[in-house]
Amino acid sequence: MNRMTPVDARIGAVKENTLVSFNLAGEFPVDFVEFDVQVTRDGCPIIFHDNFILTQEDGEIIERRTTELSLEEFLSYGQQRTPRKLGKPLLRKTKEGTIYNWNVDVDDTFCTLQEAFQNVNSHLGFNVELKFDDGMIYTDEELTRVLNVILQVVSKYADGRPVIFSSFQPDAAQLMRKLQSSYPVFFLTNGGSEIYKDVRRNSLDEAIKLCLAGGLNGIVSEVKAIFKNPSMIHQIKESNLGLLTYGQLNNVPEAVYMQHLMGVKGVIVDLVQEITEVVREFISLDQEEGGKMRREEEPDGEEVKTKTAERPRFTRREIAFLLKLIPELVQH
C-alpha cells in the first residue's frame, strides 16, 4: 500500500517492502509493519507492491507482470545479494504513466515472505496485504491457490508473531476468512474516492456489509473517507468491527491526533519516526487541567515556574464542531 511517487522525500528514502525498511521501522514503538504480498509463477510468496516490474535493457523499457515472474527472475532486479553482482536496473511507473528511475538513499534486496518471518524483529506484527490487480477478474480457484500458498508460509513460520490479513479484493478477503480463523482479516477500502465496477468497494457502508456478510474482523479505510464521514466511526464500532486507516494525511501529526480523539484504533504511516514521536507525546503528556508546573532558574538565580507542554483539550461541543468542519476541509 505504498505511494509510488512520494510527495515527501523522506518517504522514499528507504527501499520499501524490504527487510531493512521493516527492521528500521521496528526501532520505533510500532505494533505492526504493513506490506504487500504476491505469489510468483512458481508458487513463492514475495513482498512487492506493484503489479508490474520495470527495467531498461539497451535503451528499451521492459515491463513484466510481477506474478508472471519466477522467484529467480524476481530476485534478479535491483540490489543483489552477491557482492559486486549487478541486478537489473529498476524503474517505476506512476498511475498517470510517467516512468522514473527507482532511486533510494538506503537500498536493499527484494525478499520473500518466508525471509521476512525469519529476519524481521520478532516483536513486530505483520499486516499482510493480499495484493491483487484491480484490473483483473479472479476465479475462486485462482484466489484459493494463491491464498493457500501464503497460508502455508504463515502457518510454518509465524511462530506466535501477530499477523493481520487485509485486501482490497473483496472475494479474497472473504475467502481468507473461510480458509482460516487463526488470524484477523480486514477489508481495505478507499471509501469511495475512486469508483469501481464492484460496488462493494465504493463506500464505507458497503465495506461494513461485506465484513458482516463474510465474518471479517474490521476495515482499513483511506483516512479521507473517515474525515469526510466521521459518523461512520460509530457505525463501524456498533458493528463490532475494528478500524484502521491509511493515506498521506496519516503523515500529518494533527490528522493522527484527531483520529485518536475520534476513536480510530490504528494508523498506517510512512513517516514512522515523526509520527511515533508525536503519538508518544500526546499519550504521555499530563492529563490534568493546566498541565504540571516545573521549576526553572533565571541567570540571576531567581526561581520561576513555567507550564510544561500541554496536550490539547477539547470539550464535546468543540469536538462536535471539528467533526463537522473536517469534511469540508478534505473535500479537495
Residue 73 confidence (pLDDT) above 90: yes
Give the residue from 143, 149, 119, 138 showing the smallest Cα distance to 46: 149
**pLDDT tier at 11, thresholds 50, 70, 90:** low
- Predicted model pTM: 0.85
**pLDDT tier at 309, thresholds 50, 70, 90:** very low
- pLDDT, residue 254, reads 83
Would you mind telling me the total number of residues written for the chain in this entry?
332
Q: Which residue has the cell 521492459?
A: 62
Give the residue from 69, 83, 90 showing the smallest Cα distance to 18: 90
If phi > 0 it is left, if psi is from -120 to 50 it is alpha, else beta; for residue 273 that is: alpha
What are the sequence ranges of the domains in the chain?
198-288+308-332
Residue type, 163: V
Cell digits of residue 131: 495484493
